Structure 1
């Protein structure tokens, strides 16, 4: 399944498939079951991931025991918790597999060794991270300035697969509303769509 990572990497480099295959030959492919926790809130992250198959939820639990979902990651997305600015290096988030998931895992402790062996890999990784950050920043800005209904419409437009892959209460948490509010939004939009079709 590493060919999926190679196809993704080709967006950021002119290297051949053989060269890219050599760069990632020592990176392990890991399989996890639905419900597996890849990282607990408060732990120090030791791995970053690239998803070949499956879905991972990023969430945090507040002091009252309420879960707050902040992101979902699916195929061809990287999952990294950036926490180097924290003095204790503790992750503010947990990572949970919502489906049986296959990932390529990168060991953060040996990252520099891989860069020393393949200097071009560092440049490629930086480009990938910059793209991820750009997308996250745009999504966050849009999220802050939109209503719950607009957030739901953006989700339908940009990531419709999540509607069938993620439990509704987690989608509601991600959108910043209660599950019953999400149900009302969906019903209202469905009714409007039906009215327009008549």
Structure 2
């Protein structure tokens, strides 16, 4: 769900404690992105697929496989091969 920026700004002015929550969410997003970037740089494709299963499993049901393959930095053929290998 997306919230327009002007709505957040207006609500943050009315409820100052909202800023703390926004800061926490921002930190969590940044840490998650850092973890994913490190994974892409240091792990092989099988480890990246396993990470996807563990942390982003909901994507498997909602995103077509040929598009999803690019998320862990793989081509669709490699993604399919690893998926099949791990499901056996």
Q: Please say whether Structure 1 and Structure 2 have the same fold, judged by a TM-score greater than 0.5.
A: yes
1:147 is aligned to 44
Q: Distance between the aligned counterparts of 2:78 and 2:37, measured in 1? A: 21
Q: Distance between the aligned counterparts of 2:8 and 2:62, measured in 1? A: 32
| Alpha-carbon spacing, 1:110–1:165, altered in 2? closer, same or farther (3 Å) | closer
Deviations 1:118-140 (A, max 9, x none): 11111221122112212221222
TM-score, length of structure 1 as denominator length: 0.39
1:135 and 2:32 matched:
yes
Indicate if the aligned counterparts of 2:12 and 2:19 stay in contact, CA closer than 8 A. yes
The one of the two structures with greater contact order (alpha-carbon pairs below 8 A, sep at least 6) is: 1
Q: Distance between the aligned counterparts of 1:169 and 1:147, measured in 2? A: 19
Q: Distance between the aligned counterparts of 1:111 and 1:163, measured in 2? A: 31
Unaligned runs of 5+ in 1: 1-102, 192-198
CA RMSD of aligned residues (A): 2.0
Matched position secondary structure for 1:175:
coil
TM-score, length of structure 2 as denominator length: 0.78
2:63 is aligned to 166
Matched position secondary structure for 1:174:
coil
Unaligned runs of 5+ in 2: none
Q: Distance between the aligned counterparts of 2:50 and 2:64, measured in 1? A: 17
Q: Distance between the aligned counterparts of 2:25 and 2:10, measured in 1? A: 19
1:1-198 residue pairs with structure 2 within 5 A? 103-107=1-5, 109=6, 111-191=8-88
Structure with the greater alpha carbon radius of gyration: 1
Deviations 1:88-126 (A, max 9, x none): xxxxxxxxxxxxxxx25232x454433222111112211
* Higher helix residue share: 2
Q: Distance between the aligned counterparts of 1:111 and 1:157, measured in 2? A: 31
* Higher strand residue share: 1
